[in-house]
Amino acid sequence: MQKIIAANWKMYKTRDQAAQCAEALADALRTAPANPAVLVFAPFTCLDVVAKAFAAIPALAAGAQDCYPADEGAFTGEISPLMLRDAGAAWVLVGHSERRHVLGEDDALVARKTTFALEKGLSVMLCVGETLEEREAGALTAVLQRQLESVFDALPQSRRDALEGHFAVAYEPVWAIGTGRVAGHAEVLEAHALVRNLLARCIGPAAERLPVLYGGSVKPANAAGLMGLDNVDGLLVGGASLDPQSFLQIVGA
């Protein structure tokens, strides 16, 4: 299975800043093996400069932070998978907690985005995770099951059979994103085992070949410990990915 270290730059970096950061990553990883894959989910305005810096480097790929499930149309402020691919994106992040809990996206919309992006040739990283209130209420299993099954119920069988290499799940406890609080190893092990079992219920043995990443206040100091846990196949990094040296330390872990 290919492991993945992914950067989510969120709403940070101008084009010049993105180009400088991407070029630093490209210089450092030019001869790196393609496993782990290193993805950068950049702002839409920076996708082309990131993709240009990463061109022809097997370990690196550019991704977008969201998409809309239509080729084109009267959807002011949205962006289509075709536009993203034209700008150089190979991946798209779908269902990030900030999209769900700040901007109000529901499971049905996340499922539509996932299905459409895959249909249009983008690889998808699907984000799932619970709020603090849901965890304290004992709803972890129910939340993860709802979020995953809503997507797989919308995926036709032909798509389910072709996910390997084009689909990953990022578990991100909402209470650990940008708070400095990291889920303990026992909490990560529990959640990732649940995700793996739920994937197996949805698609059978092929679930073992889909990467499951952890995201939530990942830093150079905790990256190696997280990567050493069962069912942790990569990391989704927020704030610590904005500095190339910090992010390269995480990749090296």
pLDDT at position 177: 73
Of residues 25, 5, 122, the one with CA closest to residue 65: 122
Domain spans, the chain = 4-252
Q: How many CB atoms lie within 10 A of CB 62?
A: 26
Which pLDDT tens digit goes with each residue over 2-38?
899 999 999 999 999 999 999 999 999 999 988 899 9
Burial label, 156 (beta-carbon count in 10 A; 0-12, 13-18, 19+): exposed
In angstroms, the CA 60 to CA 35 distance is 10
156-186 residue pLDDT tens: 998 999 999 999 999 999 887 767 776 899 9
Q: DSSP labels for the chain?
A: ---EEEEE-TT---HHHHHHHHHHHHHHHTT--SSSEEEEEE-GGGHHHHHHHHTT-TTEEEEES---SSSSSS-TT---HHHHHHHT-SEEEES-HHHHHTS---HHHHHHHHHHHHHTT-EEEEEE---HHHHHTT-HHHHHHHHHHHHHHHS-HHHHTT-TTTEEEEE--GGGSSSS----HHHHHHHHHHHHHHHHHHHGGGGGGS-EEEESS--HHHHHHHHTSTT--EEEESGGGSSHHHHHHHHH-
Catalytic residue among 96, 105, 130, 192: 96
For 205-246, write each residue's pLDDT tens digit.
999 999 999 998 899 999 999 999 999 999 999 999 999 999
Of the listed 98, 105, 172, 192, which one is catalytic? 172
Mean pLDDT of 120-128: 98
Residue 34: predicted pLDDT: 87
Residue 120 confidence (pLDDT): 98
CATH number attached to the domain at 4-252: 3.20.20.70
pLDDT band at 188 (very low <50, low <70, confident <90, very high): very high
Alpha-carbon dihedral sign for residues 23, 28, 33, 38? negative
Sign of the Cα pseudo-torsion (197, 203, 205, 206, in order): negative
Q: Report percent pLDDT > 70 for the chain.
A: 99
d(CA 20, CA 16): 6
pLDDT for 171 equals 97
Please provide the average confidence, as pLDDT, over all residues in the chain.
96
pTM beyond cutoff 0.75: yes
pLDDT of residue 184: 92
127: confidence class by pLDDT, cuts 50, 70, 90 = very high
- Contact by Cβ (8 Å): 66, 38: no
Q: Is 172 a catalytic residue?
A: yes
Kindly state the average pLDDT of the residues 90-100. Answer: 97
Residue 5 pairs in a beta bridge with 38, 235
